[in-house]
Amino acid sequence: MVTYRYLGNSGLKISEITYGNWLTHGSQVENDTAKACVRAALDAGITSFDTADVYANTAAETVLGEALRGQRRESLELFTKVYWPTGPKGPNDSGLSRKHILESINGSLRRLGTDYVDLYQAHRYDTETPLDETMQAFADVVRQGKALYIGVSEWTADQIRAGHALAEQLGFQLISNQPQYSMLWRVIEPEVVPTSAELGVSQIVWSPVAQGILTGKYLPGAPLPAGSRATDARGGADMIGRFFRIPGILERVQLLTPVANELGLTLAQLAVAWVLQNDNVAAAIIGASRPEQVQENVRASGVTIPIELLARVDEALGDTVVRDASMTATTAPTSRPS
């Protein structure tokens, strides 16, 4: 069963394995399968569920809401996000303006079938909206009881610091950041993690298995597995492509097998357990296209990896690891998307 951690400097506990439905619900998997995956998550003790209005252009929120219908609301932690374009993609259908935030939270609550979300997250930083406008809108969302806490996603250390200061002035808590983080993608370690730890902000990390690369199912020189994310033309192949471009990465991943074997884990479980060794990480988000994947990944909860095995992970992956702190900023949008 899954264990639980506090989120940031708050009293909110979340499941350290969090179920996310990016690239799955309303897109890659049928609704019945999506609901079966949610049931598997609940059966494993997962109480935290992450989605976003942009996932499948709002359909993912609807599917998640339907899958959770009938569950005791107080026993769940629901996370959603705002920023990317939704709907007809008009001039105000994206970003973090007051208008878009206040309209988007109402849409998300309607689709999720709830009166509030536990965590409402800025899905990216909006370079075209004054930060004080954004944070004031989030403050109003909290005061209206539509969100209990506020988080961000893929913000730089400086952006987190500025947002946290405004949140304190406005009387609400900024408690989380949701970045990409894995054995192969460690760009948050030099700046984002130390700043967040200082401010009482936790990481809820996505793609802990590096879009599937760290599962070991992609073998050097072998054809891509049928039905895998790397063969998905609806977005999955684009996301995983950056890892395939790293020379020698598939060979390096196979070197992790002895480490996983010593811990009695699969490579996927090792990858999820690895991100949870970081004290600033409150949860790892997992996705699933089959209930068995949920059941497999939750076995990473509660695992402690000895220091000597962590060192062997670093040795195995070598220079395939991306550590450049500037990547958080350089991979972010420079203007509001449309």
Q: How far apart are CA 247 and CA 60, in angstroms?
A: 34
Write down the pLDDT at residue 176: 98
pTM exceeds cut of 0.85? yes
Tell me which DSSP letter residue 225 carries.
Answer: P
Any residues with CB less than 8 A from the CB of 293 and at least 6 apart, and which?
Answer: 37, 286, 287
Write down the pLDDT at residue 22: 85
Q: Decide yes or no: CATH 3.20.20.100 for domain 4-330.
A: yes
With contact defined as beta carbons under 8 Å apart, do 338 and 304 qualify? no
Domains of the chain by residue range: 4-330
**Rg for the chain (alpha carbons), in Å?**
19
The rounded average pLDDT for each run of 10 residues, N- to C-terminus, in the chain (338 residues) is: 96 98 64 90 98 94 96 98 93 97 98 98 98 98 98 98 98 97 98 98 97 89 61 60 81 97 98 98 94 94 98 97 96 92
Write down the pLDDT at residue 20: 96
Write down the pLDDT at residue 29: 60
Residues that are catalytic: 55
Write down the pLDDT at residue 70: 96
